Structures are given as structure tokens and as C-alpha cells.
Amino acid sequence: MTNILLASSLSLILALFGTPLAIRIFKRHRFGQQIREDGPQAHFVKKGTPTMGGIVIIGGAFLAWIVAHLRVLECFRAVNDPGPITLRDCVTPFTSSGLLAMTMIVAMAGLGLIDDYLKVRKQRSLGLSKTSKIIGQVTIALGFAYLAGILETQAQPQVSFVRPLGLDLGVLFFAWVFLIISAASNGVNLADGLDGLASGSAAMVMAAYVIIAFWQVRHPCDPVPASGCYLAPDSLDLAMVAASMLGAASGFLWWNAAPAKIFMGDTGSLALGGAMGALAILTNTQLLLIVLGGLYVIEVTSVIVQVISFRLFKRRLFLMAPVHHHFELIGWPEFTVIVRFWILAGLSIAFGLGLFYADFIAQGGID
């Protein structure tokens, strides 16, 4: 528990105090946000706001996750102990699952960083082409799926809801992983259209995964199987990953809240979505992510429906997609849209955690 608290607290501090420094650096180098020309008119005042703030989120989370593995007090006690001091006395072991989750986050952040840099350099709202971005996501997702299979991770090559359902996917697991990673990262990316909407909602999802992973740690099947237990030996490390992302996103939100002083850019949104997908796969809660990320499902669905409606009927169902822009255009103040969408995100997460706990009780588990 101490490791989780340290990861969240340190990442919060790093993002909270590191973001103002990033703002000054990005302003100096003119790393400003470009606004889509067909977007709401009210957004044009945001042009030039520093972007690529996701660097702070990922940097703070990564450093906090590393430091959280150091068991300083235990190591200090070991110094005064007459017995020999071992590495185990000073470090909480890094696990394959934790390393793989953090690798996914950094890789997706790298893809987003390329996209953001191209936008800044070309002074336009479009960076990587859709094809290039998809190729990048496919490469990262397939690499993740391959490593999850050859390394001793706790991911099961099965469809899972709150635990594996027994449906072995075989080679289709690679396609399934890509679908999860792509959907999650693009969902957060679409939500990153209003100040603080993506960072605030993502922090809530990360908090949910701290709870889920920690619950799995508290109810293991090893060494003695029990009702409702989980085969999740690496979940403490995953809880630390989620906690570090929670703290970093929350610290960044302080400066990203409306009116935003900085935007996370694709660097942050793709990484946060990638983190959600990786945690869902590694905690075997893949389909539960649909519930926890209900806000992102709404955002993605609104875009799909808009495209289908226009291509089939030559009519747009919404004034603009994603749907948060529709509510802006009908007269809702931006902050009202943000808060109400945060409420939707919170309700989705509460319902998802309720389903997770209901499964535990149904399996005969007792707190």
C-alpha cells in the first residue's frame, strides 16, 4: 500500500510543479496548439496555447513508478540488522506485467509526440496521417501482445470481463489487443477537445484501476485458492502504474482545467488511452473497460454515427462531432459541458466498479 501511495503522491507533485516549467519552455520554443478550422468559433482564442503537455504526465508517472519501487525504510532497517542485506530488502521487484504496461505507455506517448511535433512544425491542426497513426498503433499493439505471450505476465489470451471467460482466442488475441488499444487511445484522444475533459476523466479511470489491481492483490489464489480469488501475481506493480498515472493526470489537470494554460496533445491522450488498454488486458478486465470508459464510448460512437448518417443520408445527426462540440454549439458553456461529462465519466466508473465487486461476491468472495 505504501508503494501505491508513494507512486500517486510523487507523480502528483512532479506534474503539479513540473507543468509550469513545461509551459515556459514550450512558450519559448513556440510549441503552440493549432485549432481545427471547422471547430467551434469560441476555440480560436486557444490558438497558441502550449501543447505536448503529455510529456509532463508521462515523465512524472514514469519517474514516480521507478521511485515507488524503492523500499527506503526497509533498506534502512536492514542496515541495522546483523543479517546480510539483499536487493530484496531495498527494492520492490519489477514485474513483467508492470514493465510491459509502462512500455506501452511510453511507446504510445512517443507516437503522440511525433504527431504533436508535426503539427507544431507545419503550423496546422493535422500531424500524422490516419494511415501512419494506425500503422503506429498496430505496431505497438502487436508488440505488446507478443511480449505479453512470451513473458511471464498475468495476461490471459482470452476474452475477459472482470476475469477470464474461458474463450481462448489463439492468434486472434493479437487482433483483440489491437482493437482494445486502438479504441481506448482514440477514445481519450477524441475526448481531448475541451479543457480538462480528457485529463479529468482519465484520472478517474486510473483511480478505478488502482482499486481493481489492489483488490486483486488482496485476494490472490496463491498460495491457497479461495472463493473469488484472482490469479494476479503482478497486480501490485500494475496498481503502482495506475497510481502513478492517476497522480500525474491529476497534477496536470490543475493547469489543464478551463481556461487551460497547457494542452496534453496526442502525447498525453494516446498514452493515457494506451495505459487504460494495457491495464485492462493485464488485469483481465478487458470488457469491463467498456463500462469504466463509458464517456469515451459515447464520444467514439457519436463520431461513428455522424459519419454513417452523413454518408448514407447526407445529413448530420449532430451539429458537430465528437458530441461534446454539439452541446457547445447549442449553447452550453464549455465548463458546463466539461463538468456534465465528468459526471457521466464518474457514473460509468462507479457502475463498473460495482460490477467488479458484484462478480467477487457472486464467486463467493467475502471482504
> What digits encode the pLDDT tens for the residues 275-311?
999 999 999 999 999 999 999 999 999 999 999 998 9
210-220 burial: b if 16+ Cβ within 10 Å, else e:
bebbbbbbebb
C-alpha cell at 130: 490516419
Residue type, 152: E
Cβ proximity of 286 and 167 under 8 Å? no
Model confidence at 112, pLDDT cuts 50, 70, 90, reads very high
Question: What rounded mean pLDDT belongs to the chain?
Answer: 89
Tell me, what's the pLDDT at 44? 54
pLDDT over threshold 60, residue 344: yes
Strand spans (E) along 19-96: none
Burial class for 367, CB neighbours closer than 10 Å (0-12, 13-18, 19+): exposed
Cβ proximity of 352 and 205 under 8 Å? no
Which is it for the CA torsion 185, 188, 189, 190, positive or negative?
Answer: positive
CA 340 to chain centre: 20
**Residue that the C-alpha cell 469491463 belongs to:** 288
d(CA 62, CA 57): 9
Among the ranges given (4-8, 121-125, 196-200, 319-323), the one the predictor scored with the smallest mean pLDDT: 121-125
d(CA 254, CA 288): 28
Nearest to 19 by CA among 186, 247, 181: 247
DSSP string, 92-157: PPP-HHHHHHHHHHHHHHHHHHHHHHHHHHHTSS--S-HHHHHHHHHHHHHHHHHHHHHTT-S--S
d(CA 90, CA 130): 46
Cβ proximity of 198 and 302 under 8 Å? no
Cβ proximity of 200 and 338 under 8 Å? yes
> What digits encode the pLDDT tens for the residues 137-186?
999 999 999 999 888 889 999 999 999 998 889 999 999 999 999 999 99
Among the ranges given (33-37, 211-215, 318-322, 362-366), the one the predictor scored with the smallest mean pLDDT: 33-37
Tell me, what's the pLDDT at 126? 72
Q: Which helix (H) or strand (E) holds 275?
A: helix 265-282
